Amino acid sequence: MGLFEKHQSILENAVKAMHERTFHAQYPEHPSPKIYGETADEEGRKKFQSMIGKRFEELKQGDSQNWIGVEESPYMQDPLNISYPSFSVDDLIEKAGSTFHQWRKVSAAERAGILIESLERVKDRFFEIAYATMHTTGQGYMMAFQASGPHAADRALEAVAAGYEELNRFPGTAMWDKPMGKFNIQLDKEWRAIPKGVAVVIGCSTFPTWNTVPGLYASLVTGNSVVVKPHPGAVLPIAIIVAEIQNVLSDEGLDPNICQLAVDTFDSTITKELVEHQAVKIIDYTGNSAFGDYLEGLQGKAVFTEKTGVNSAIIDSVKDVDKVAANLAFSVSLYSGQMCTAPQNFYVPKDGIKTADGHVSFDEFAQKFVDNINGLMDNPKAGPFVLGTIQNKNTCDRIDAAEEIQGKVWLKSRAIENPMFQNARIATPVVVEVDASNEEAYNQELFGPIALLIKTENTDHSIELAKNMALRHGALSCGAYTTDDTTRERIADEMSLAATPVSFNLVGGIYLNQHATFSDFHVTGGNPAGNASFTNPEYVIKRFTWVGFREPVQG
């Protein structure tokens, strides 16, 4: 049995889920992580610990020029001292170019089978990847497990399913028969999906697998060879996945250099040299807008970006203000606001909001919001683990600067103790009230645990500001609370014109930060926050080209 036949049902279920947009998880995290094995957590932790201070020797990329690595644990604030094989750009491109011609000849079905097999092997390393993610990104344990393990694997599978679906949208051959009166013209026609060539995937420091695997697997399933260039501060999680892809390729008699890892350091980056190489035809990127804009400007390349944005929450009217305040408090605290979908600007009318229990003033809502943040932070069983740590020291400077914004500081950031890691770099959310007239204070992304309560004239004013922010600066998410159907439709209509998805009236265990694989499109590609979307058809069809051949039918 080949790998396609082995995993055909997984692929078919994924394609079905894409069309139905209902809940589907090939790699679930519930009812608990123990579904992957009673001892898998402990084994994964020990495996991660055994890697610290050593060379990562799992890659099958040949002899390296050097071994490098600069990762640091935000929990311990010490270097991990894990080193990876380093290769020149010319070497990487040469191998990618030569292996491309082997990989493009593999059928779409076989490629899909190989890639799903790699995910099935990655599944056995979810906990190892979780600890690697914790100690490179600073995510809390549960988020690190979910986001870098099951959720990332499902996003990768989604990309495989989308690519496979598009590669099979049209027939490979057909006999074209055109009646011409006394005779017919008959042509045998053939169509081939031709991949673009060498692809480069540029990873980010906060979500090194979740944001990397969609582009990686989308390019691979469509027949392109791939060079993965991780962020220097978060290499290990994606290195494990690349190693497993290489293992399957090798087991199937293919050159493992079809998928390569390209590491660099902060002081000696190779990203520009890589992407500007004429052989590179596809680029995937997650990161700041300035570099994303530069990539989008490169000629002759298919570029897929997720950049920065200013996410909003519009507060109009609510049923239960306490549940709303609790939900939003969790949203700004989750992973210390270091999620691309985390809310930053909270638009609240100056005259307050309507609730089922009566009117709530602006100040009363602000106090409930702050109280819920403090309650979460002061819970030793929740606060440190929801927050995680601050990945980049520059974010700490941004938090300090936020407290100097003109307006009322409702809540200052502080450090709380993580009971497991005494040196963890922790900062709780800062909350600042800003008048809507002070647009300079809130018209940019303030990455980190920073919440701005913006006092608006009314809900119409709030909608206008949220829409304009998305149009000018981009947005990946928007939260909205209203009990009025007309207002709900107005918000949906206006934000849709800014290509921004809206989560209405979320309370309880679902937050606007979260996007579900096979159901939610992550980033729309319609505003400055990014030009691509996980995972719509455009995300895969730009990675290959349909080419046709025809000749007269032979008698």
Tokens of 26: 């090939």
pTM of the model: 0.96
Same domain, 399 and 499: yes
Q: Looking at residue 33, what is its pLDDT?
A: 84
Same domain, 267 and 382: no
pLDDT at 174: 98
**388 lies in a domain?**
yes
Residue 58, helix vs strand vs coil: coil
**What's the mean pLDDT in 417-439?**
96
Q: What percent of the chain has pLDDT over 70?
A: 100
Which DSSP letter does residue 325 get?
H
Per-residue pLDDT, 34 = 86
Token pair 């779409």 is at which residue?
Answer: 108
The per-residue pLDDT for range 63-87, each reduced to its tens digit, is: 998 999 999 999 999 999 999 999 9
Number of domains the chain contains: 2
For residues 322 and 228, membership in a common domain is answered with: no
Q: Mutual orientation of helices 150-167 and 213-221 as an angle, nearest 10°?
A: 30
Check residue 145 and report its DSSP letter.
H
pLDDT digits 0-9 by tens, 13-53: 999 999 999 999 999 988 788 899 999 999 999 999 999 99
- 302 and 439 assigned to the same domain: no
- Decide if pLDDT at 548 tops 80: yes
CATH number at residue 429: 3.40.309.10
d(CA 253, CA 318): 60
Domain residues for 391?
312-504
* Distance, C-alpha 404 to centroid of its chain: 31
Backbone angles phi, psi at 475, to 5 degrees: -155, 140
133-152 pLDDT per residue, tens: 999 999 999 999 999 999 99
Beta strands of 381-490 (E only): which ranges?
408-411, 430-435, 450-456, 478-481
Residue 1 has pLDDT above 90, yes or no: no
Task: Quick: pLDDT tens for 347-363.
Answer: 999 999 999 999 999 99
Q: What is the CATH number of the domain that holds 241?
A: 3.40.605.10
Strand partners, 195: 544
**317 and 302 in a common domain:** no
